[in-house]
Structure 1
Amino acid sequence: MKKSHLVFVPCPGIGHLMSAVEFTKLLINRHEHLSITVLLIRSPFDPKVDAFILSLSSSLSFPQRLRFVLLPQHPEPTNSDSLHPSVLFDSFIEHQKPNVRDVVSKLNSDPDSPRLAGFVVDVFCTAMADVATEFGVPTMVFFTSGAAFLGFKLHIHTLRDRDNVDPTVLNFKDSGTEFAIPSFDNLVPASVFPGNVLDKDWARLLFTQASSMKNKVQGILVNTFEELESHAIQSFSHTDLAVYPVGPILSLGTDNTVQEGSESDVMDWLDDQPQYSVIFLCFGSWGFFDEEGNQVTEIASALEASGVHFVWSLRKTPPKGSMGAVGDYSDLEEVLPEGFLQRTAEIGRVIGWAPQAQILAHKAVGGFVSHCGWNSILESIYYGVPIATWPIYAEQQMNAFQLVRELKMSVEISLDYRRAFGSVSESGVISAARIREGIKQVMEKESEVRKKVKTMSEMSKRALMEGGSSYSHIGRFIHDILNWG
């Protein structure tokens, strides 16, 4: 068989990057005649992501047939302060097209280079499909969220184009309206629509992505598996789209390049806790609460009143107007209720950055209060830890709805709590009583939710094994892209 080459263009966000890199390693191990070049775009917003990208570009620990090329850094526009983040990001990706074109041209001109078979791009980088077309090769999208949300994204685009339905005008989130979305079994309330559908600038970016997926790409790789999202995956059989459920693609090792501070004593503390006795609270790389509100106080009150052992990843609000990711507090007592750390010293730990996968894998952890980012959902399922849902931004409200109402694999603290991306403005405060009730429910040892998560955990591990559902779809993807045209 002839040697073939794929070009990956991931989005410079930590969750997107890690999933893409893990998927490239999986492909390299699966097909001995395949090589991959990952084109790394430096982050204009987050120095920690930038550090991770630079570490990838200089690493010697990857397989020989997998290499990384760092693209030139694009200067920030002079008027960036006055531009919406979506406009900035769109421009940022568009300006990388010539750099991608140059790198691929050089690869193609090398007489020893394998045949270029196609591009695999992040959904935020679908503009690169134009470059792939110039080289006469197909483009596949690597979609780092779930299949149900993919179906929503495509359907809301159809509603706008076919039925002239504009969610940014109708202000759906407060209307009580429900929608029939093919990738969901249940009617979906507008209150759980992603914030980027309700904001004109973000919606423009979403609709551009959806249009590209419908008209410019040849297939979509989704980080999910059939057993988890059977209805959503089946809903695509009525379309012309080639959809490949290839997950769960997880980065389960510790990565110190994205760590802000060492919290190694937490793992030692967990070793001393009984099995399934600890609730873990973690809200992702953008998971913070407004310091001027009293949400942190309500969480602390709920934990103290519950008496449940806990690990709480508490992150610091970034400077106002900053697009940078959150940091850690130098002194936790400045934000926590007076005496809280002393009163809970025997039952809990409050930390900054958390080694999430390691904590979820620990036998002591019995529940997870989560923002419902898709990578976090997949990790919790893989390790068999049920979630109490507390979404914050992006598609997390829809993920929470799917977990609680569609799959009945989580308990609800909230489905519609939200904060706009890059903002500290939040939709009210969730009471200590409500948080405490969610913690109580998710920690029930013999609940139906826990049983379902344990069963799905075993399915998630089998999916990528030889003969598993995702293993088969990856084989189908490799065959399709290497034999395209």
Structure 2
Amino acid sequence: MKKAQLVFIPFPGLSHLVSTLELAKLLINRDNRLRITVLLMNFSRSKETDLYIKSLPISDSLNFIKLPECFVPPNTNPRAVFDALLEAQKPNVRQVVSDLINVERQGPLASFVIDMFCTPMIDIAKEFSVPTLVFLTSGVACLGVNFHIHTLRERDNVDPTQLLQQTEFAIPTFANLVPSYSLPSSVISKEWESLFMNFVRGLKNADGLIINSFEELESHAVHSFSSHPELAGLPIIYPVGPILTPEPKSKSVVEPDDIIKWLDDQPPSSVVFFCFGTSGSFDEDQVKEIAHAIENSGARFVWSLRKPQSKGVAPSDYSLSDLSLVLPEGFLDRTRGIGRVIGWAPQTQILAHPATGGFVSHCGWNSTLESIYFGVPIATWPIYAEQQTNAFELVVELKLAVEIALDYKVEFKGGPNYLLTADKIEGGIRNVLDKDGEVRKKVKKMSEKSRTTLLEGGSSYTYLGRLIDYIMNQI
């Protein structure tokens, strides 16, 4: 039997690592000729990473090599630190791959599969004369935003100040004009210019792009890659999602089982779930507005409320005594019967629960795919990165979400651009829980498609087959 080796290089952050390894599992479950070696770089949260890796089934098809630790001089910009780490790791990757090639039984090296932030490793793949496939943990429409702005800068010499003066953009992967406030800050700001240009140049250098999305969800965006002249000549795309990620184990003030038991006692589709990702948190003024909105709406709720991050430390959970200080006086007593305020949340378990009827979300791409998969409509509240683009796509382009805000934004090292008032949040809660709303019907239909796209006959199944054919043709 002809075998093929793949070298995977994930980004050393837990959520990126987990989705990259879920992609690896998808490939080896589909074709037993593939052998995958995952190269692990210095991890900031190695305990959680080790736990996750230990939970994976041991097999000949999937193995891990920890790269030696590299010292990188400190820098205030996290991206600059990571780029320096990649440069420092290149000799180690070169050595490990040379050793792998000499292991006959694993088959010849067919390709590198690397995270979207690891494109400097394309240089090493070229040394071994193999193609590089880049795995993107965001959607197809968002990829189109990056390509379009990069092209404007490179081809038309448009600089960030001109971009900032434009109020909307015609982007090939969107059917609607995209307002400038829906673009990620990194795409149009002067400060991030060189990082952005290098990032997209890296994507354009790839031989193919594996995307955690599916054609039934982003049909206009996917088709634009084969039909729009501006996107001609770019790497081929393989939308093979939704790749859902298992939850990392974490301790919170309230045990996950306790929340699930509480949900068991609530009516179907009656609970609104507030959760803003691993890094999402708000100051006291904003927390109070959310509390007033919840109380005024009278809706049942589960609210994952985290302490704001301080100096590079990720948000943490409030102790019960701290909670009463940050929430309006008496809020916990008055809402005791209808809601729960928790710290870290078992998000997939809550979204999968029949009592959950709406999701107030930051619109991170993983959360977006999960809510669609479980058929729970989103009320959009983006915070940073590409979340404003995702929110615009969900509300305006796909009509799969209701709007709380589309233009809310927290700048890197800065505060939010405005305070979102209780009445606006309350409107979002009422809309997202509307039992007969059009959005809910559309989300239910898309949920069914998301569950069948990776089965035979679905578009992601077909794209995954094409991807494997491409890999096998390299040897």
> Shorter-chain TM-score: which interval?
over 0.9
> Alpha-carbon deviation of 1:73?
2.3
Matches within 5 A, 1:7-156: 7-44=7-44, 47=45, 50-58=46-54, 61-77=57-73, 79-80=74-75, 83-156=76-149
Q: Does 2:369 align with 1:378?
A: yes
Could you tell me how far apart the structure 2 residues matched to 1:72 and 1:407 are?
A: 45
Once residues 151 and 387 of structure 2 are traced to their aligned partners in structure 1, the CA distance between those partners, rounded to angstroms, is: 22
1:68-467 to structure 2, matched below 5 A, reads: 68-77=64-73, 79-80=74-75, 83-167=76-160, 169-170=161-162, 172=164, 175=165, 177-214=167-204, 216-238=205-227, 239-240=232-233, 241-251=235-245, 253-256=246-249, 258-260=250-252, 262-291=255-284, 294-319=285-310, 321-322=311-312, 324-331=313-320, 332-421=323-412, 423=413, 425-467=415-457
State the secondary structure of the residue aligned to 2:317.
coil
Partners of 1:312 and 1:75 lie apart in 2 by 40
Q: d(CA) in 1 for partners of 2:58 and 2:199?
A: 31
Task: Quote the offset at 1:424 in angstroms.
Answer: 5.2
Deviation at 1:484, TM superposition (A): 2.9
- One-letter code aligned to 2:178: V
Alpha-carbon spacing, 1:247–1:428, altered in 2? closer, same or farther (3 Å): same
Deviations 1:408-434 (A, max 9, x none): 11100000111124x351111100000
Count of residues in Structure 1 that have an aligned counterpart in Structure 2: 467
Following TM superposition, the consecutive aligned residue runs of length 4 or more in structure 1 with deviations greater than 6 angstroms are none
CA contact under 8 A between 2:5 and 2:36: conserved in structure 1?
yes
Aligned partner of 1:469 among 459, 465, 472? 459
Whether the 8 Å CA contact 1:56–1:68 is kept in 2: the answer is no
CA pair 59-97 structure 1, distance change in 2 beyond 3 A: farther
- Distance in 2, matches of 1:3 and 1:338, equals 64
3-state DSSP of counterpart to 1:234: helix
SS at match of 1:237: helix
Q: Which moved more, 1:66-75 or 1:344-353?
A: 66-75
Letter in 2 for 1:185: A
Distance of aligned partners of 1:259 and 1:249 in 2 relative to their CA distance in 1, 3 Å threshold: farther
Cα distance in 1, alignment partners of residues 302 and 40 from structure 2 = 34
Please report how far the alpha carbon of residue 26 of structure 1 lies from its aligned counterpart in structure 2 after TM superposition: 0.9
Unmatched segments (≥5 aa) in structure 2: none
Contact in 2 for aligned 1:290/1:425 (Cα 8 Å): no
- Residue identity over aligned pairs, in percent, reads 55
How far is the alpha carbon of 1:447 from its aligned partner?
A: 0.6
Post-superposition shift, 1:171? Answer: 6.4
Following superposition, the deviation at residue 457 of structure 1 comes to 0.3
The CA deviation at 1:263 is 3.2
Cα gap change, 1:171 to 1:329, in 2 (>3 Å):
farther
Q: CA deviation at 1:366?
A: 0.3
Compute the displacement of 1:476 (Å). Answer: 0.1
- CA displacement at 1:88 relative to structure 2: 1.6
The aligned amino acid for 1:37 is: T
1:69 aligned counterpart, secondary structure: strand
Q: Check whether the contact 1:84–1:201 (CA below 8 A) recurs between aligned residues.
A: no
SS at match of 1:472: helix
Which whole-Å deviations, capped at 9, do the CAs of 1:138-164 have from their partners, x for residues lacking one? 000101100000111111100000111
- CA separation in 1, counterparts of 2:60 and 2:417? 49
Report the Cα distance in structure 1 between the residues aligned to 2:210 and 2:200, rounded to whole angstroms. Answer: 14
Given that 2:279 and 2:309 are in contact with CA atoms closer than 8 Å, whether structure 1 keeps it comes out as: no
Q: SS of the residue aligned with 2:263? A: helix
Please give the root-mean-square deviation of Cα atoms over the aligned residues, in Å.
1.6
